[in-house]
Structure 1
């Protein structure tokens, strides 16, 4: 099953980039929408978002199979935690409920006007439970709509899950969303990219981080080019077209091969994606 994610969530920091507890909300503008991400506890992290990537990939697999998409997604803890390709240990099992709770308590407000105190937003997950070794997840309606809107989802390189830095993960998502496989990639003003990441470090510190990432080149299938090493005004996110990239990334999600699937209202999806 190829990992994929809605384009809507790949242009800005919808998630906290650190593994610590971030309480400060994220505020940014995306297109014509003002977006506020907040939580009464701690914001969902970009590692918690792996659960949403699993859910998105599962729903897209069902859609491509021509099967009904269940309202409640169900799988074992091992299937969800193992989807990113990590070695699943007891610690991951213990932390899964925390991630699910953060996703259910983090609220997103999308509004054409400025935010107000009366706007409470909607969570990523409406409900979840773990019973008899199975995890049941009901995505919020707005997330489900973002997943199932035609041509609204992009495939991700599975190597995305190997990135250990939250910022590197977000930079990959931004590159995948904007640069795609365009030979010349996509150019941002450095200050604009800094705002998109939502990080608390200064612009000067951000530039230093970009230089380090550009040197180490960790983003799967992409590289970072700075316009000036002394003080860059622009940064280019460019596909590494000659690199070894998981070829499933270049397959349009709408062209995934249909295979057999059995499912019901809250039955796990088990559709195998053959390449």
Structure 2
């Protein structure tokens, strides 16, 4: 099953990039909309988002196969945790409820008007429970609509899950969303990219981070090019090689309704592939 993510959430930092407990809201503009991501506890992290990638991929696989998409997604803990190719251990099982709760308590406001801190948005997950090792997840209605809209999702390279830095993960998502497979990729003003990532460090520190990622060359399928190594004004994400993003993740994942009448087995399903 090909990992997929709605392109709407790949252009900016919708998730905390560190594994620590970030409480400060994320605020940014995207496509004329004001976005506010907040939580009364801690924001959902970009690693918690792996659960949403699993859910998105499962629904897209069902949609492409013409299978019904239940209101409540169900799978074993191993199927969800193993989807991003983790070496699943007891520690991951113990931390799964925390990730689900952060997704449930993190609220997203998307508005054409100015946001205020008191605004109450919609969570990523409306409800969840774990019973006898089976995870039951009800995605928020707005998120289901974002996933199932025409041409709404992009396939991800499974190597995305091997990135250990939240910053590198976000850079990959931005590159995948904007550069796609275009020959010349996509260029940003460095200051603009700095704002998109939501990183609180200074612009000087941000450039140092970019240089480090560019030297390590860790982004799957993309190379980072800085316009000037002394003080770059632009950064370009350029596709490299002939790397396909349609490689399946070989973990069988089923989706079921409450009576478990419908199952979709793991199949290499191609998501939208345009950048």
TM-score range relative to shorter protein: over 0.9
Can you list the C-alpha shifts for 1:28-47, whole angstroms capped at 9, x where unaligned?
A: 00011000000000000000
Q: Secondary structure at the match of 2:144?
A: helix
For 1:167, the equivalent position in structure 2 comes to: 167
Separation in 2 of the partners of 1:138 and 1:230? 49
**In the TM superposition, what is the alpha-carbon distance from 1:246 to its structure 2 partner?**
3.7
Output the aligned Cα RMSD.
1.6
Say whether residues 1:271 and 2:269 are aligned partners.
Answer: no
**In the TM superposition, what is the alpha-carbon distance from 1:270 to its structure 2 partner?**
3.0
Q: Within 5 Å, which residues of 2 pair with 1:1-275? A: 1-240=1-240, 242=241, 245-248=243-246, 263-265=256-258, 267=260, 269-274=263-268
**In the TM superposition, what is the alpha-carbon distance from 1:117 to its structure 2 partner?**
4.2
Instruction: Name structure 2 gaps, 5 residues minimum.
Output: 249-253, 270-275
TM-score normalised by L of structure 1:
0.92
Instruction: Name structure 1 gaps, 5 residues minimum.
Output: 252-260
Separation in 2 of the partners of 1:116 and 1:204? 30
Question: How many equivalent pairs are there?
Answer: 263
TM-score normalised by L of structure 2:
0.92
Separation in 1 of the partners of 2:81 and 2:134? 12
Q: Secondary structure at the match of 1:42?
A: coil
Separation in 1 of the partners of 2:143 and 2:43? 17
Separation in 1 of the partners of 2:135 and 2:80? 8
Q: Which runs of 4+ in 1 moved over 2 A?
A: 261-272
